[in-house]
C-alpha cells in the first residue's frame, strides 16, 4: 500500500516539471516581443527596454527560468504588469468565487450523473435509458455559453427567480450566495454531468454481464443490493477516472462561465490578463490550475486502492 502511494507521488514530479517548463515557455513562444506588446504600439525603444529589464527579459532564457522557479518555490508569482499588484494577491482576491463554483458543480454533477447512469444501465433500452443518452449527447453538443444564456433568459430574465449576473460573497448571506451560483453551476456542470452519466452507464452495463452478478441474483439478493454493492462498486474505477479527467473540462469551462455570468473569479481574471497581455498573471493562474489538476488526479489514483485492493500491489 505505502509503496504504491510513494510511487504515485513520485510519478507526479516529472509531470510538475513538464508543466513548469511549459508555463515558462508560454511567455517566450508567444509571437512578438512581450515587452513591446506590454508597452503598447507607440512606445519608444527606451520604454520597451525598461520593461524588458523589469521583467528580466534581457537575461538568458535559462537564467530567467531558474529565477522564476526559485521565486515560485518561495510563493512569489511576480507582479501584475497591468495593475502593479502581486499576482498572489490578485489570485487571493478572485479565489473564493471559483472555488465555490467548482465545488458546487462537482458535487451536483456527481450526485446527478452517477445515479442517472446507473439506473440507465439497469434499465437498458427503457425510456430512462433513452432520455439519459439524449441528455448525454445534448450535453456534449451544446456549447457552455449557449446553455448559460438560455438559462439566464429563462430563469433570470423571464421568471426572475435568480439574478442575471454577478456574485454575492458568502459573507453577505448564504441564500444570496447560493442564488448567484445556481445558474453558473448548472451551466458549468452540464458537460461534466453528461460525461459522467455516459461513462457510468457504460461501466455498469459491462459489469452487469459478469458471472458474479448472475451468481448474486441466483443467491436471492435484492436487486438494489446487487446493483449498489456488486455492480456499482466494481464499475467505480472508470467512473472515478472520468471524474478526475473531467476536472480539465471544469478548468476550461470556468473562464467561459465566469465571463457569461460576470463572476469575478480566476477564470475571469485569466481572460482579462490575456486581453491585457499580463503575462505574470497568466503564468500564475495557469500554474495554480495545473497544480490543482495534478493533485486531484493523484488523489484519484490513490482512491483506486479502495475500489480494487489488487492495485496496492
pLDDT at 265: 85
Residue 241 pLDDT > 80, yes or no? yes
The single residue listed with the C-alpha cell 460576470 is 262
Over range 42-49, report the average pLDDT. Answer: 75
Residue carrying the nine cell digits 503564468: 283
Lowest-confidence segment of 88-92, 124-128, 193-197, 220-224 by average pLDDT: 220-224
- Phi, psi angle pair for 59, to nearest 5°: -95, 160
pLDDT beyond 70 at 114: yes
Count of beta carbons in the 10 Å neighbourhood of residue 172: 11
pLDDT (average), residues 116-132: 84
Say how many CA atoms lie within 13 Å of 20 toward its Cβ. Answer: 17
Q: Convert the pLDDT of each residue in 148-163 to its tens digit.
A: 888 888 888 888 888 8
pLDDT of residue 2: 67
Query: What's the rounded Cα separation, in Å, for the pair 266 and 290?
Result: 13
Confidence grade of residue 203 (pLDDT, cut at 50, 70, 90): confident
Looking at residue 311, its pLDDT comes to: 62
Domains of the chain and CATH, by start: 2-73 (no CATH), 87-312 (1.10.3720.10)
Percent of all residues in the chain with a pLDDT value above 90, rounded to a whole number: 0
Concatenating the DSSP letter of every residue in 160-193 gives --S-SS----GGG-HHHHHHHHHHHHHHHHHHHH
Candidate from 10-24, 104-118, 183-197 with smallest mean pLDDT: 10-24
Closest CA to 34 of 268, 266, 274, 285: 274
Q: Specify the 3-state DSSP secondary structure of 17.
A: helix
Three-state DSSP string of 75-116? CCCCECCCCCCEHHHHHHHHHHHHHHHHHHHHHHHHHHHHHH
Q: Does residue 49 have a pLDDT over 80?
A: no
Q: Which residue's entry shows cell 449498489?
A: 228
pLDDT at 17 (0 to 100): 82
H helical segments located in the chain: 2-29, 34-39, 45-55, 61-73, 87-122, 127-141, 144-151, 174-208, 211-218, 223-225, 233-234, 236-245, 247-260, 266-275, 279-307
Comparing 219 with 117, the larger pLDDT belongs to 117
Instruction: Retrieve residue 30's grid coordinates.
Output: 508567444
Cell output for 110: 456527481
pLDDT tens column, 284-312? 888 888 888 888 888 887 777 777 666 65
Task: Calculate the dihedral angle through the C-alpha atoms of 9, 13, 14, 15, rounding to the nearest 10 degrees.
Answer: 80
- Percent of the chain at pLDDT exceeding 70: 91
In the structure, what pLDDT confidence band is assigned to residue 190 with cuts at 50, 70 and 90? confident
Residue 276 has pLDDT above 80, yes or no: no
Mean pLDDT, residues 19-27 taken together: 78
Pick left, alpha or beta for residue 222 (phi over 0 → left; psi -120 to 50 → alpha; otherwise beta). Answer: beta
Distance, CA of 246 to CA of 192 (rounded, Å): 6
Residue 102: pLDDT band (50, 70, 90) is confident
Cα distance between residue 18 and residue 217, in whole Å? 49
Q: Mean pLDDT score of the chain, rounded to an integer?
A: 80
Amino acid at each position: 500500500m505505502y509503496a504504491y502511494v510513494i510511487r504515485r507521488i513520485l510519478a507526479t514530479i516529472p509531470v510538475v516539471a513538464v508543466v513548469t517548463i511549459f508555463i515558462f515557455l508560454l511567455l517566450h513562444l508567444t509571437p512578438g516581443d512581450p515587452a513591446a506588446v506590454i508597452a503598447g504600439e507607440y512606445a519608444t525603444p527606451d520604454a520597451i527596454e525598461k520593461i524588458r529589464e523589469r521583467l528580466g527579459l534581457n537575461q538568458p532564457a535559462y537564467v530567467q527560468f531558474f529565477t522564476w522557479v526559485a521565486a515560485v518555490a518561495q510563493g512569489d508569482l511576480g507582479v501584475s504588469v497591468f495593475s502593479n499588484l502581486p499576482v498572489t494577491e490578485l489570485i487571493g482576491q478572485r479565489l473564493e468565487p471559483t472555488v465555490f463554483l467548482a465545488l458546487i458543480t462537482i458535487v451536483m454533477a456527481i450526485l446527478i450523473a452517477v445515479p442517472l447512469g446507473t439506473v440507465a444501465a439497469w434499465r437498458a433500452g427503457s425510456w430512462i435509458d433513452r432520455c439519459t443518452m439524449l441528455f448525454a449527447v445534448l450535453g456534449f453538443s451544446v456549447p457552455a455559453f449557449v446553455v448559460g444564456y438560455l438559462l439566464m433568459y429563462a430563469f433570470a430574465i423571464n421568471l426572475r427567480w435568480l439574478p442575471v449576473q454577478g456574485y454575492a460573497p458568502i459573507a453577505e448571506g448564504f441564500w444570496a450566495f447560493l442564488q448567484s451560483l445556481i445558474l453558473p453551476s448548472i451551466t458549468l456542470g452540464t458537460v461534466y454531468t453528461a460525461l459522467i452519466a455516459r461513462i457510468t452507464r457504460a461501466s455498469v452495463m459491462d459489469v452487469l454481464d459478469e458471472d458474479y452478478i448472475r451468481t448474486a441474483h441466483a443467491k436471492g439478493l435484492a436487486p438494489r443490493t446487487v446493483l449498489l454493492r456488486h455492480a456499482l462498486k466494481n464499475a467505480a474505477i472508470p467512473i472515478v477516472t472520468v471524474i478526475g479527467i473531467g476536472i480539465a473540462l471544469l478548468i476550461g469551462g470556468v473562464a467561459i462561465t465566469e465571463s457569461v455570468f460576470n463572476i469575478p473569479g480566476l477564470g475571469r481574471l485569466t481572460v482579462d490578463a490575456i486581453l491585457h497581455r499580463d503575462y505574470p498573471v497568466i503564468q500564475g493562474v495557469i500554474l495554480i490550475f495545473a497544480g490543482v489538476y495534478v493533485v486531484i488526479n493523484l488523489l484519484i489514483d490513490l482512491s483506486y486502492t479502495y475500489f480494487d485492493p489488487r492495485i496496492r500491489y
